Copies of this chain bind each other. A is one copy, B any other.
Amino acid sequence: MKPVRVALLGCGVVGTEIVRLLAEQSDDLAARVGAPIELAGIAVRRPDRVRHGVPRELLTTDAMGLATREDVDLVVEVIGGIEPARSLILGALKTGKSVVSANKALLAEDGETLFAAAREFGADLYYEASVAGAIPLLRPLRESLVGDRIHRVLGIVNGTTNYILDQMDTHGAGFAEALEEAQGLGYAEADPTADVEAFDAAAKAAILARLAFHTPVTAADVHREGITEVTAQDVAGAKAVDCVVKLLAICERFEDRGVSVRVYPAMIPRSHPLGSVRGAFNAVFVEAESAGSLMFYGAGAGGAPTASAVLGDIVAVSRNLVSGASGPAETSYAALPVLPMGETITRYHVQLDVADQAGVLAQVAEEFARNDVSIQAVRQEGHGDDAQLVIVTHRAPDRALAATVESLRSHPSVREVASVMRVEGDL
């Protein structure tokens, strides 16, 4: 059988692992594909760097030359970032080559351009590794659930922040302390911005929302709040109502009114399947009309898991090439509007330090009522200087909830708004 010729763009941790696996499992892969998979070349910036197990004669610094070379059938992009990755992928697609990419930032920023090019030139563009590492997630959304109507996707899609929040939950640590520990153990980078400010999770949310709702969504459409402001008090408040704070990527459909795509730290019941996702693990919970509730769980990052996802795509695309077929095209036919955060329906959990005097509860409740926010539960705790009100609202537009909190900040009976946290799941 004529081999499938693969060009690899980028050879860092993931790339090196792909090279290793392609060599080690070549017989198995050939049997599964129906043809051998051959490495045609590897584009790197620094060919002199030592890469164990990577054949030096395959290295080149001419990435575009390799990506568009005539003897290449399939281009695998593991460079990351927007450029030159975008130009290289477009170059490959335009010369009819199929592409496998792990590039969440690029897919979230400019997926439409890439998908349009793939359609136009009849090539496959697969990107399972871009969200939640090795957890099969995009293919299930794109193919298994394609006959269903997805209502909501709730995901823990960033291992670093989950590790930090888990430490805060388990040991009562503050954010700064937990971050430092995560950095020491290699779970967080020296510059943790992409993770803790939720840029990473927001890119993944955009990709998930697009697939779930057949609607174009970019990273810029995603409402994003990181975890740097999460306090020990937030976490303790969650604990008191048997919840845990998680950074959640939420893609939600509000019937035909539109979709909401957002990432923020929120309280979720410990009994929720996402509530027990510990450490740096990822999990994505999907609520669909017919399928009901589903969860996908696994390692969300790391060289080997990411390589596994890339390799799965390489095999799938290679099978398509061998059989002359192509995979399902991306559809964004539904083109639902993306709602601003203010119009998204959420719930708040608010802790207020209040003056210890008769009538405070009534005055505070009045403030919620004035904004048309209904209260589900209220708890009074402590006395004197420690007097606290803990309020959980019913569902309401986020704008009304935010306005309520804003007016409470300057309310004469409220000494301090000690904690504000959104709530997801049934509390």
Contact = CB atoms under 8 A, between A and B. Distances in A.
B328 A326 contact: no
Interface string A139-162: 110011111110000000000000
A21 B304 CA distance: 40
A340 interface: no
Interface in A214-262: 214
A186 interface: no
Interface stretch (A309-317, A376-384, A406-414): A309-317
Given A292-B134, A294-B298, A312 B144 contact: yes
Interface stretch (A24-32, A89-97, A342-350, A387-395): A24-32
A169 to B, nearest CB: 16
A307 B288 CA distance: 12
Interface in A294-329: 294-299, 302, 304-305, 307-316, 319-320, 323-326, 328-329
A144 B148 contact: no
A312 B136 contact: no
A25 B149 contact: yes
Nearest to A313: B147
Contacts of A297: 273, 294-297
Contacts of A143: 136, 139, 312, 315-316
Tally of this chain's copies? 2
Contacts of A292: 134, 298-299, 302, 304-305
A293 interface: yes
A293 B315 CA distance: 21
Nearest to A310: B147
Interface centre among A25, A294, A326, A333 (most CB of B within 10 A): A294
Contacts of A78: none
A294 B148 contact: no
A280 to B, nearest CB: 11
Nearest to A133: B291
B149 A28 contact: yes
A60 interface: no
A374 interface: no
B146 A312 contact: yes
Contacts of A21: 147, 290
Contact of A333 (B31, B128, B302, B334): B31
A17 interface: yes
Given A34-B329, A323-B325, 19 more contacts: A17-B290, A25-B147, A31-B214, A32-B146, A133-B291, A134-B291, A135-B291, A136-B136, A145-B308, A147-B308, A147-B313, A288-B308, A289-B304, A290-B307, A291-B309, A292-B305, A295-B295, A296-B296, A325-B325
8 contacts: A21-B147, A133-B291, A134-B288, A273-B276, A291-B309, A295-B296, A323-B326, A325-B325
